Amino acid sequence: MAKWAIAIHGGAGVDPNLPEQRQEDAKRLLSRCLQIGVDALKANKTALDVVELVVRELESDPMFNSGRGSALTAKGTVEMEASIMDGRGRRCGAVSGLTTVKNPVSLARLVMDRSPHSYLAFDGAEEFAREQGVEIVDNSYFITEENIGMLKLAKEANTILFDYRIPLPGADTCSASVGSLVPDTTLQMNGLPISIYSPETVGCVVVDSTGNCAAATSTGGLMNKKSGRIGDSPLIGSGTYACDLCAISCTGEGEAIIRSTLARDVAAVMEYKGLNLQEAVDFVVKERLDQGQAGLIAVSRNGEVACKFNSNGMFRGCATEDGYMEVGIWE
């Protein structure tokens, strides 16, 4: 029998001025969701069931950028995306452009289980959701007052914001000056300069007691993004990947993750270079991101768990059958 392991994340790239209370709130949410996954694994749930269960829980809390609390487009609406992958046979499902589906990760699984396709987007995904009878809510359900205030700032600055729900200490989200919340930066996306963006995607990777691996990732994308923008989270091989060796979920600068096919590359260097899980994770973050900022979590079929990021912090947690459990933000 293999040993189970689980890892979760709430996004890579954290404001160094993040208030202590926000840090504690984030860690409590991560701990709660991690325990939900641990309890499910102890009850012999499959890896696929556990990643869906945990990501649904993360989507339902407005702390991170997925489901309720998702980033807003330039039009002030929410367009969500998610993917899920089963290492057994590399089955997968993905969705983009969702505006009314309460839990995008569950629709991604239905695409995998109940359609002949791997990826549905926008009107087609919404139509499929209605056909499948998933829970539908008004787009306003996903929108928070904090996000409305930060979208206003983003529009005034003509930029994309980082940690958009996190005002600087003493700053009023709706009245602070744009300059106080949008730092100068040389960060580029696809070669074009942008202000630091918000990468608070959520994800979960699991290996169960049979050695099967699964991964799931969900996000609302970037604050003030163009309507129709698709990031790495729903792209199999970029933001999410699982096979018989391992499972990976990525977070950070989506365009850099897409160019590097970051998640698949972890499995590739394990297979072709013979690296173990941590070595593979370290290698791809160092060698494949060029100047991009990102992080990832991973598990192997042997019960190993690993994470790596080159950004300023990553919300994360992990647990193993041996009793190890950790939740953290910084290095």
- The residues annotated as belonging to the active site are 201
Inter-residue contact 10 to 249 (CB < 8 Å) = no
DSSP letter at 16 equals: T
DSSP character string of 159-178: S--SSTT-PPTT--TTTS-H
Q: Which residue, among 179, 178, 182, 181, has the nearest Cα to 193 in the 3D structure?
A: 182
Inter-residue contact 204 to 216 (CB < 8 Å) = yes
Inter-residue contact 132 to 106 (CB < 8 Å) = no
Angle 144-148-152 from CA coordinates, rounded to 5°: 165
Give 169's contacts (C-beta < 8 A, 6+ positions apart).
17, 19
| 299: β partners | 247, 305
C-alpha neighbours within 13 Å on the C-beta side of residue 251: 38
Angle 229-79-31 from CA coordinates, rounded to 5°: 110
- Binding region for substrate: 229-232, 251-254
> What's the CA gap between 157 and 165, in Å, rounded?
16
| 307: β partners | 297
- Binding region: 229-232, 251-254
> What's the CA gap between 181 and 125, in Å, rounded?
35
